[in-house]
Structure 1
Amino acid sequence: MLRPSSFRPALRSRVAHSTRFASSSGSSSQVEAAQKKAQEVLSSTQQSASKAFESAKKVAGPLGETAGKYLASASKSAGPLGEKAGNLLGSYKQPVLYNLAVFREIAKQIYRAEGLAPPSSVDAVRSAYRTLWTNASSKAFWQKAVSSGEIARLGVYALEAYGIFKIGEMLGRRSVIGYKLE
């Protein structure tokens, strides 16, 4: 006589197989439906993105077209090195280029609004450095700075200059601490 417990593993395997096959056959239709839905969402997203791009292009006007031309000329002038860098960025290439273009435009606006310009002549640079040197070597200048409290402002400027120098040094050696001796 066979015990009922000996039938249990056989029954379990039949039940497991039948439900597994049933779920996979049912899931293929579910997978197809999900893929179809994903395709619909993708196409609608692409359509809305193209509409947004066109409207942004209209709003930007000639500035948007100019930025596109600058990006195209920059990619051409970068050559194979630029293509390799672009390939390394992968899907981040477009956002990075966009952010660089935005930064360039903001820098232009600041340059114009502040009236910034390079020195008009070599004499202007010489006179600026001459004034700095005479003030730095003058004992009267330092006494006046200490008595008026302007020494704190000069100290902050010196600290900023030192910090910028140290950041440049770190960037140059590509390490925050020390040089790699190996």
Structure 2
Amino acid sequence: MLRPSSFRAALRSRVARPTRFASTGSNPQLEAAQKKAQEVLSSTQQTATKALESAKKLAGPLGETAGKYLASATKSAGPLGERAGKLMGAYKEPVFYNFAVFREIVKQVYRAEGLSPPSSVDAVQSAYRTIWTNATSKVFWQKAINNREIARLGVYAVEAYGIFKIGEMVGRRSIVGYKLE
């Protein structure tokens, strides 16, 4: 028969001891990543400052007024930004680094593809007008079937539907159905 004291000793011996990882020691890879993140952040700030100055010069008096409003907004968001940075704690630097990397990738794609926003409202209207006339034209669909373009159009339709469904899933935070309570 087991005594309570021997039973407690047996339980203590079976409990797994948590291992403690050294968190105060220096990690050269972590320090290098932090240094790189700081460099990217400073270069981003410098680039933004230069872009703001060039935008002010291009826009003339209107740009100077917009710059004043932007500077006042930056000053007013300063303490809020500081508090948000403190709330993020140790995650602040990796988040800034990953955001900077994402921004650079988007910038490279933007330049490589030669992307630009539409220059006027007429350009947007003409693009949608062309899509509408093609979608409602019997000749367009007959030509697409004869040239076997219908497969390409079908793939585009499936992609659009898939993106729509993914957006629905994100919106309702569930893959199937809504969470009712």
Coarse TM-score class (shorter-chain normalised):
0.5 to 0.7
Question: Where does residue 65 of structure 1 map in the other structure?
Answer: 42
Residue 150 (structure 1) aligns with: 149
Could you tell me which amino acid in structure 1 is paired with residue 122 of structure 2?
A: D
How far does residue 96 in structure 1 lie from its aligned partner after superposition? Answer: 2.0
**Shift of residue 178, structure 1, vs aligned partner:** 1.1
Question: What's the CA shift for 1:68?
Answer: 4.9
1:161-176 correspondence to structure 2 within 5 Å:
161-176=160-175
Deviation at 1:83, TM superposition (A): 3.9
Q: 1-side partners of 2:157 and 2:178: how far apart?
A: 25
Q: TM-score, normalised by structure 2?
A: 0.59
Q: RMSD of aligned C-alpha atoms?
A: 3.7
d(CA) in 2 for partners of 1:172, 1:129: 27
1:127 paired with 2:109, answer no
C-alpha distance after superposition, 1:71-92 (max 9, x if no partner)? xx98x848648845863x5433
Structure 2: tracts of 5 or more residues without a match: 1-21, 49-72
Aligned with 2:178: secondary structure? Answer: coil
What per-residue deviation string (whole Å, max 9, x for no partner) do you get for residues 116-139 of structure 1? Answer: 011100100110011001100011
> Aligned residues: percent identity?
57
Q: Which residue of 1 aligns with 2:107?
A: 108
Q: 46, 49, 70: which is aligned to 2:31?
A: 49
Give the whole-Å Cα distance in 1 for the aligned partners of 2:82 and 2:179: 28
**Scaled by the length of structure 1, what TM-score is found?**
0.59
Q: Could you tell me which amino acid in structure 2 is paired with residue 144 of structure 1?
A: K
* 2:41–2:96 Cα contact (<8 Å) kept: no
Deviation sequence 1:141-169 (CA, Å, 0-9, x none):
11111111100000000011111111111
- Structure with the larger helix share: 1
Larger Rg: 1
Going from structure 1 to structure 2, the CA distance change for 1:162 and 1:124 (only over 3 Å counts) comes to same
After superposition, the Cα gap between the structure-2 partners of 1:133 and 1:78, relative to the gap in structure 1 and judged at 3 Å, is farther
CA distance in 1, matches of 2:99, 2:165: 25
Structure 1 alignment gaps of length 5 or more: 1-34, 58-62
Which deviations, in whole Å up to 9, do the C-alpha atoms of 1:41-91 show, x marking residues without a partner?
63x849x936x938x94xxxxx65232566xx98x848648845863x543
Q: Distance in 2 between matches of 1:105 and 1:123?
A: 31
Q: Kindly tell me: are residues 120 and 68 of structure 1, through their superposed partners in 2, closer, same or farther at Cα, counting changes over 3 Å?
A: closer
d(CA) in 2 for partners of 1:82, 1:172: 30
CA distance in 2, matches of 1:153, 1:78: 50
